[in-house]
Structure 1
Amino acid sequence: MRSPSAAPRIGRGWYLGAVLSAVLALGMCLLGWRQADLADRIGAHPVRVQGTVTRLPGGSATYSAVSYQADGGQRRATDLTLPTTAKVGDPICLEHAADDAGAVRVCDQHYPQAAGVRLAQISVPVALLLCALCLGRILRFRRAEGIRVRGERTRISATVAFATEALADGMPAITHGKRSRRRRKGGRRALR
């Protein structure tokens, strides 16, 4: 239990939440920007090639895989948005950028990984909202803490002002005009 005189503290979770949500928003922005950049590069000078489905997505940890021939070598693209009727071994039409054979997407689609773009579109606003909530809570606590500290400083300065005034007048306000007496060990007067 906290003592009444102890200063209130804000939990570290608010700071951690603000940092993590800001990092998430930044990461998702970069993912969306990367997909848009790849889509623009492919759309500028698309080169159509024939690919073969080598793996289908299965569960959360398995991505689709498509192998294709480009620039005189065998390449592989993962996590492309495949048609729902695709099976392993099926041929599939792909487009890659003329200047980069690694920038590839399925024909008639805009983004190479449309799921990543949708994830960025959903998660960036949520992460920014969470970051704003955490920062608002932190700032509200800091403002309240500043008001509390200013109140304590005012109270301390008033006490100091009262004490200095009392010292300047010979301390009658503290001792009511009487000199204070120190008690000696052993009672009022030590016996001789």
Structure 2
Amino acid sequence: MRTATVPPPRVPRLGRGWYLAAVLSAVLAVGMCLLGWRQADQADRIAAHPVRVEGVVTQLPTGGGTYSSVSYQVGGQPHTAAALPLADGTRLGDAVCLEHAADDAGAVRICGDTYPQPVGVGLARFSVPVAVVLFAVCVLRIWRHRRAVAVRAGQGRLAANLALATEALADGMPAITHGKRSRRKRRVGGRRGQH
């Protein structure tokens, strides 16, 4: 009895980059949402009960990833605010008008601004939709890949079952055919003997 070998169906490979992109886009979307929510929350708390103080510029932003830094005091306690949007031409030691929330001295912004860090809010508004779209594209691609793998696996099982059924039928056919032929030969031989 000869066993028919059915080659396994060829499963398309999906690069790990799709999974990595899905994870990174989800992390980016969540992180930017948290950043935007924190900025909005601080802006609301400052607007509810603003307290004005005077700060001093201790560091200026540079192109090397260094942010601005402004020092100020609240109730005799020193505080530092980073990445505030300073006006053009600001120098070290210049005085800056700040306003902070009455219940949180760390929630501080430049006087007249809406958010402590408007650049972060703008970045969140732009990056969150992009990250969500990228995440959706990656998830759709991964889902299609898994569906194609499932379909091909089902086709492979069907092909294997058909091959086994065909083989079993082919193995049974010679006996049936041989029996019929032998009967015909006997009948023909018998008639020849009678004549």
TM superposition score normalised by structure 1: 0.81
Equivalent residue in structure 2 for 1:44, among 45, 48, 52:
48
Unaligned runs of 5+ in 2: 1-6, 180-195
Which has a greater percent of helix?
2
How many Å separate the matches in 2 of 1:59 and 1:158?
68
Compare CA radii of gyration and give the structure with the larger one: 2
Counterpart of 2:173 in structure 1 is 172
How many Å separate the matches in 1 of 2:113 and 2:32?
21
Q: Which amino acid aligns with 1:109?
A: D
Higher relative contact order (CA 8 A, sep 6+): 2
Unaligned runs of 5+ in 1: 179-192
Counterpart of 2:140 in structure 1 is 136
Counterpart of 1:185 in structure 2 is none
Q: Which amino acid aligns with 1:136?
A: L
Q: Is 1:159 aligned to residue 160 of structure 2?
A: no
Shift of 1:19: 0.7
Shift of 1:49: 0.5
How many Å separate the matches in 1 of 2:130 and 2:115?
22
How many Å separate the matches in 2 of 1:173 and 1:102?
91
> Aligned pairs, how many?
173
TM superposition score normalised by structure 2: 0.80
Residues 80-159 of structure 1 correspond to what in structure 2 (within 5 A)? 80-159=84-163
Shift of 1:74: 1.6
Q: Which amino acid aligns with 1:28?
A: M
Shift of 1:84: 1.5
Q: Which amino acid aligns with 2:24?
A: L
Question: Larger deviation: 122-131 or 151-160?
Answer: 151-160
Equivalent residue in structure 1 for 2:30, among 26, 31, 35:
26
Aligned 8 A contact 2:9 2:153 in 1: no
Identity of aligned residues (%): 55
Aligned 8 A contact 1:66 1:78 in 2: yes
How many Å separate the matches in 2 of 1:166 and 1:68?
92
Shift of 1:173: 5.5
Shift of 1:75: 1.3
Question: Larger deviation: 28-37 or 84-93?
Answer: 84-93
